Chains A and B, each alone.
Chain A
Amino acid sequence: MKKSLRSVLALVIVISMMALVLAGCTPASTPTGSTTTPPPAAKLKTAMVTDVGGLGDKSFNDLSWAGLQKAQTDLGVSAKVLESKQLADYESNLTQLASAGYSPIFAVGFLMQDAVTKIATSTPNTNFGGIDIFFADPIPKNAVGLNFKEQEAGYLAGIVAGLATKGNFDARLNAANTIGFVGGIAIPPVQRYEAGFVAGAKSVNPSVKVISLYAGAFDDQAKGKELGLSLISQGADIVFAAAGQTGIGTFNACQSSKKALFIGVDTDQYMTLTNPGDTILTSAVKKIDTAVFSVVKDAVDGKFPGGQNKTFGLAEDGVGLSPYHDFDAKVPAAIKDAVTKAMADIKSGAVTVPSSLK
């Protein structure tokens, strides 16, 4: 009895404290909401919602944000980012931005497909872009899916790796004629990188052995390192990781073992990794920032490309290969020429890179 009385009293105290805090704070929020000066009618308010990886992933979240920031500088739009901490945040973040008048709003990452489809349908006057999201039919008129031909970037990386593993321009290159691939989670974009990488390597080195391993996570550096070491022990002297943060572990495996060179993914990882110069050969890049910027530009021009899934490949300057940086002097001209030729062939349509392993 006494005990239950105590809990009731406890409840009352907690509730009244909460009410007090609420009462004390609510008035203060009114000025907060109105301190931002209303933008001129013509000025677009753009925004994005990150996936649970958040900003600082040095991958698609950061790249999308870079695209919005460029739009902010070059096009005079405003830009806002909301980070998601759990899956449930996707829908509420998109809802909040839509009701605050932001448009276009970018949903970053394939996990947001359900949420952005639902909100785009329920708020038809707000435009949405989905990074790595392939909208199912019927595509809402106010939504555009932005997808990439990762296989084409992977193909170029494969050509570099396939030729380099036969070469001897670095002491770490062995005679095993083996290269490795580390994937984060087996989702379509990662599988496209893998398919292109294998095809590219085989196109210049038909007998090359490509070993692929998947970590099952984009944020598990320990696993990435373990997989990298495993590939190295199987003779791989060049490892391409399309695995987000997991790939940082793979890079560390290559660097610390001094037995393999590394190929980065999505961004030019020479710029984002710590002291990568001695290990990173190049990166297969996916220019999400360019794609985001182009959509904002279209929106500013009043031509938001809604109701479709857009695909960005080499021809659209949506994917590519980063510079060789510290390896630029060492990489033989034969490799550089092969890459240049492949780029021309893909752009002209003479070569079509497979998007899945067959």
Chain B
Amino acid sequence: MSEATKSPTVDAWWMRLLTTVGVPLLSVALAMAIGSVIIVFSGHDPIAAFSALLQGAFGGWRQIGETIMRATPLMLTGLAVGFGFRANLFNIGAEGQLILGSLGAAWLGLLLAPLPPILSIPLILIGAALFGAAWAFIPALLKAKVGAHEVITTMMFSWMALYLTSWIVSGPLADKGGIPQTPMLSGAVWLPTFDTIIPGLPPMRAHLGFLLALLVAVGVSLVLRRTTLGYEVRAVGFNPSAAQNGGISIPLTTIYALCISGALAGLAGASEVLGVTHRFFDQVSAGSGFGFTGIAVALLGKKNPVGILFAALLFGALSAGGGTMQLEADVSQKIITIVQGLIIFFVGAETIVTWFIKRRKRLALEREGATNA
């Protein structure tokens, strides 16, 4: 009898685990499978391709460093988009906030270089976060005051960010030499790479921005669970009208949530500029679209900070291994883009997968019921 009362909760627990982890994993597996089929059709060996990819992503310290370095901005943009999701806001314009954050970091990096790094680097990071938050503020205000949809406004602000910074790097902040980029930052404000901190590591490009991203993930988790603001954000995301009836100001929460999301995206840009490029390029996230990939990361990570970290590592690994895949197995890196697209597609098609899992379970229950009867 006690067995019968206990089993539904255990079942529900397993069920939730299955959908939390199972869906993302299944999506990745399906995407890889279809990717393999495409590789076969292009006349190459998928096993060779994916093992080269793994080799390139995890085959040694340098490779692991590459994976981490590439995952770092995605963790932060994933957290940014994920935070918005929690308040039921779709910050599709994280890209623009990241671009502004990058520019802010490059500018402040030039200004604050004379200060000791212990002072200048935190100031630059805070400044870049404010740049990102400021870029999200107007869309947030528009949403809160007149209900203008953030998907439209933040997207528009991304384009504005692109063209604005494009002008700034070829005008007011241009490096000499005519290439649209800001001057190289002094080494004093670079985020150090791990091999310069931990003796014995070979040269690698993973930098302290990774620790920053981990700290931010913990911070976001704490804010969401332990603070009034986090409670309000989740309440508004869960059921706006109930939240309002409970005395939560929806406009205010919207503004806070979108600005925090923007700040995180700005941090992503700062980490990339201080840790990797050491200057701002026109189209600093060209080709990759860290902000846009962040949306996929947030979805794959199920909007959960821990999930987002893993999703970002996966995308980082795909990106890091792509070069090796092309070098060793002659498979175009475009296949990586296809696999990423498929992952997003399957995560988006979660409803179908969830339905499939539930249906199997229901059938199993029915069968069980039938045998019992």
* Chain A residues engaging chain B, CB cutoff 8 angstroms: 2, 6-7, 9-11, 13-14, 17, 21-22, 25-26, 28-29, 32-33, 52, 54-55, 80-89, 91-93, 95-97, 100, 110-111, 113-114, 134, 136, 185-188, 191, 216-217
Contacts and interface: CB of A to CB of B under 8 A. Distances in A.
Given A2-B13, A87-B277, 11 more contacts: A10-B306, A25-B54, A28-B47, A29-B54, A82-B326, A87-B281, A87-B284, A114-B184, A185-B170, A187-B178, A187-B179
Contacts of A6: 13, 16-17, 20
B282 interface: yes
Interface stretch (B87-95, B118-126, B233-241, B316-324): B316-324
A97 B307 CA distance: 34
Interface in B84-121: none
Interface residues of B, number: 61
Contacts of B282: 185
B51 A28 contact: yes
Contacts of B332: 55, 83
B8 interface: no
A122 to B, nearest CB: 8
B285 A85 contact: no
B366 interface: no
5 contacts: A6-B16, A7-B306, A14-B21, A32-B329, A82-B323
B323 A25 contact: no
A49 to B, nearest CB: 9
Given A9-B17, A11-B310, A191-B178, A25 B286 contact: no
Contact of A92 (B52, B166, B323): B323
B218 interface: no
Contacts of B52: 29, 32
Interface of B: 13, 16-17, 20-21, 25, 45, 47-48, 50-52, 54-56, 58-59, 62, 66, 69-70, 162-163, 166, 170, 177-180, 184, 205, 276-279, 281-288, 304, 306-307, 310, 319-320, 322-324, 326-329, 332-334, 336-337
Contacts of A7: 20, 304, 306-307
A21 B310 CA distance: 16
Given A29-B328, A85-B322, A85-B336, A186 B170 contact: yes
B205 A91 contact: yes
Closest 10 CB pairs of A and B: A86-B288, A52-B287, A29-B51, A25-B51, A10-B21, A188-B178, A32-B48, A28-B51, A86-B287, A29-B55
B319 A10 contact: no
Contact of A216 (B56, B166, B281, B284): B166
Contacts of B326: 81-83
Contacts of A17: 25
Contacts of B50: 25
Contacts of A89: 319, 322-323
A310 to B, nearest CB: 18
A52 B51 CA distance: 24
A21 B33 CA distance: 13
Contacts of A54: 333-334
Q: Is the interface of A mostly helix, strand, loop or mixed?
A: helix
A52 B329 CA distance: 20
B280 to A, nearest CB: 11
B371 to A, nearest CB: 30
Nearest to A30: B51
B158 to A, nearest CB: 14
A88 B45 CA distance: 27
A92 B65 CA distance: 11
B17 A10 contact: yes
Contacts of B51: 25-26, 28-29, 32
A85 B179 contact: no
B123 to A, nearest CB: 25
Contacts of B337: 85
A81 to B, nearest CB: 8
B328 A25 contact: no
A89 B59 CA distance: 17
A213 to B, nearest CB: 14
B327 A100 contact: yes
A119 to B, nearest CB: 11
Given A6-B13, A29-B54, A216-B166, A84 B287 contact: yes
A286 B310 CA distance: 46
B197 to A, nearest CB: 19
Given A13-B21, A88-B276, A188 B324 contact: no
A87 B102 CA distance: 14
A210 to B, nearest CB: 20
Contacts of B59: 26, 29
Contacts of B288: 85-88
A25 B288 CA distance: 27
B58 A85 contact: no
Contacts of B333: 54, 82-83, 85
A187 B336 CA distance: 30
B242 to A, nearest CB: 21
Contacts of B70: 88
A25 B25 contact: no
Contacts of B276: 87-88
Given A186-B180, A187-B180, A26 B54 contact: yes
Given A28-B51, A86-B285, A96 B178 contact: no
Given A10-B21, A110-B179, A216-B166, A80 B205 contact: no
Given A91-B205, A100-B327, A25 B47 contact: yes
A64 to B, nearest CB: 16
B286 A52 contact: yes
Contacts of A83: 326, 332-334
Contacts of B66: 92
B131 to A, nearest CB: 20
A76 B73 CA distance: 42
Nearest to B66: A92
A132 to B, nearest CB: 10
B182 to A, nearest CB: 12
A10 B277 contact: no
A55 B330 CA distance: 14
B306 A28 contact: no
Contacts of A80: 327
A21 B54 contact: yes
Nearest to B284: A87
Nearest to B174: A186
A54 B283 CA distance: 16
